[in-house]
Amino acid sequence: MTTFKASDLRETTFKAPDLRETTFKAPDLRDPPPTSRGRRAWVWRFGLADLLGPLGILSVVAVVCLWVRFPGVNTLWSERGWGALGLLAGLVAADLMVLQVILLARIPWVERAWGHDVLTRRHRWIGFTSFWLMLVHVATFAYEYIARDPSGVASALWALFVTDPWMLLATTGALLLIMVVVTSVRAARRRLRYESWHLMHLYSYLGIALTFPHMIELGPNFHEAWAKSYWWVMYGLAFTLTLVYRVGTPIWRSAYHRLRVHSVTEEAPGAATITLTGHRLDRLKTQSGQFFVWRFLDGPGWTRGNPYSLSAAPTDDRLRLTIKGAGDGSARHLRLAPGTRALIEGPYGTLTARGRRHPHMLMIAAGIGITPLRAILEDAPYEPGEATLLYRYSADEHAVLLDEVRELARARGIRVHLLPGPRQDQTSWLPAGSPHTDDAAALHDLVPQLAVSDVYACGPTPWLRAVTRACRTAGVHRDDLHTEVFAW
């Protein structure tokens, strides 16, 4: 165990007089870029993407209006009141299911505008809300069936879940969705391999598809053609977007760019850097700090993708990633042979220098979270003394890419603070033994320019929560805080 001492806090400031000067101008996000092409990009990125929230709310309102028309609010106080309530819950649940599929359909301009982390959080919130509404839908209809014939509970439930038209498909779909939600709970995810969780999560698409026929054929809300058309359009849109962006686009990019493993270099125990070469990689428009979902054609298990960030600035013919063996897939990738083909989805993520508002940059990394920040530090525009890196790791042997960080610091004038050792506690981002007792005060002490800095942070979820809390307490504006969680 490494104990942190005040003398262990090493700040190295380098001057690089031969470094080409770069003048940084903070982008004004309030005004669109001057060119017509830039204006179109701005409209897609900040205009239409911002409409997705209101459009999603509008779709729920439309579903409620559909229910008000058939069967109507008055039925709540009739003998079929439980069924009417269950119908409303089922319709809203179905609409939310479609919305969460659209959110994670990997639509490029939506990913760029909102960021993968934000989309994932909203996907989870919508997914759990839809799940509970689905359970209300099932429970209320079960109660109504039993109320019709209290003496035949078993036969009523058998009819509801099995023998009624299309209900066996709906029951199967509901069970698949329940399995997906249960395995998505944080406690369950901690006990599952990423590869197993990812495979089970794909069954949600099948579950949603299996519940669709009973809605169209049995629901009283579909007597009119326009009502059926609404649902066909919603489901068709989700299916098309998923097919295009999650299947078609990755297949085309993988075939065109022809990525292959060039070399695998061990960086630390259980960590390695993988360099890949390919054709016309500039057309991917990849930025430092972004990540891809990778599939390596190295044998069984290749179908399950793993998200890895780039650990070096992308070039026209080369991409590089540094990974830590945590699950079966990542451990296998440490042993990849040169020449192995790679399939990609992406690039994804908004942890890039594109959204900077200040000349100063503060990078805060924990463990393998150094990888995207190291890439940003390599090619982002800044002058010597305008970038600071706080790098925390549990032990010296886990300090991945530390030699490269030092080399970059010498070449570009980066101030580096190394923070070795275990965390103080679960509420702090600082290492044990730190002379600082306040997380926010530590930031001000280590980074005097904090108020005029863009802050980039990457690491595991609990640690990143502590960093975010400290930054906001220290006065960092939320628009100046860019984070990415290294978790699933």
- Average pLDDT for residues 388-394, to the nearest whole number? 93
Look up residue 234 and give its two tokens. 């919603």
- Average pLDDT for residues 71-92, to the nearest whole number? 82
- Average pLDDT for residues 429-452, to the nearest whole number? 88
With tokens 């298990």, the residue in question is 301
| Four-residue CA torsion sign, 13, 17, 22, 23 | positive
With tokens 């409409």, the residue in question is 51
Range with the largest mean pLDDT of 31-35, 176-180, 214-218, 370-374: 370-374
**Per-residue pLDDT, 220:** 64
User: What percentage of residues in the chain have a pLDDT greater than 70?
Assistant: 85
**Per-residue pLDDT, 238:** 93
Q: Which residues pair with 265 in a beta bridge?
A: 273
Which 3 state secondary structure label does DSSP give 166? coil
**Per-residue pLDDT, 21:** 31
**Per-residue pLDDT, 327:** 63
Can you name the CATH fold of 6-26+356-485?
Answer: Rossmann fold (3.40.50)
Look up residue 313 and give its two tokens. 């600035």
Q: CA 378, 112, 461, 392: dihedral to nearest 10 degrees?
A: 10
Which 3 state secondary structure label does DSSP give 323? strand
With tokens 């200040």, the residue in question is 358
431 touches 420 (CB < 8 A): yes
Alpha carbons within 13 angstroms on the beta-carbon side of residue 480 total: 20
**What are the CA-CA distances from residue 321 to residues 5, 174, 447 (Å)?**
32, 39, 28
**Per-residue pLDDT, 345:** 93
Grade residue 226 by pLDDT with cuts at 50, 70 and 90. confident
Taking residue 336's Cβ as centre, other Cβ atoms within 10 Å add up to 19
The domain 36-253 having CATH identifier 1.20.1740: the answer here is no
**Per-residue pLDDT, 230:** 87
Q: What is the mean pLDDT of the chain?
A: 83
Alpha-carbon span 394 to 399, nearest angstrom: 8
**Per-residue pLDDT, 66:** 83
Look up residue 402 and give its two tokens. 């530390």
Nearest to 133 by CA among 192, 80, 90, 77: 90
- Average pLDDT for residues 129-157, to the nearest whole number? 90
Q: 121-135, 177-191, 287-301, 459-473: which has the minimum mean pLDDT?
A: 177-191
**Per-residue pLDDT, 194:** 66
Amino acid in position 472: R
With tokens 């929560």, the residue in question is 465
The domain 258-348 having CATH identifier 2.40.30.10: the answer here is yes
Domain residues of the chain, as ranges? 6-26+356-485, 36-253, 258-348
Grade residue 40 by pLDDT with cuts at 50, 70 and 90. very low
| Four-residue CA torsion sign, 427, 433, 438, 444 | negative
Which 3 state secondary structure label does DSSP give 275? strand
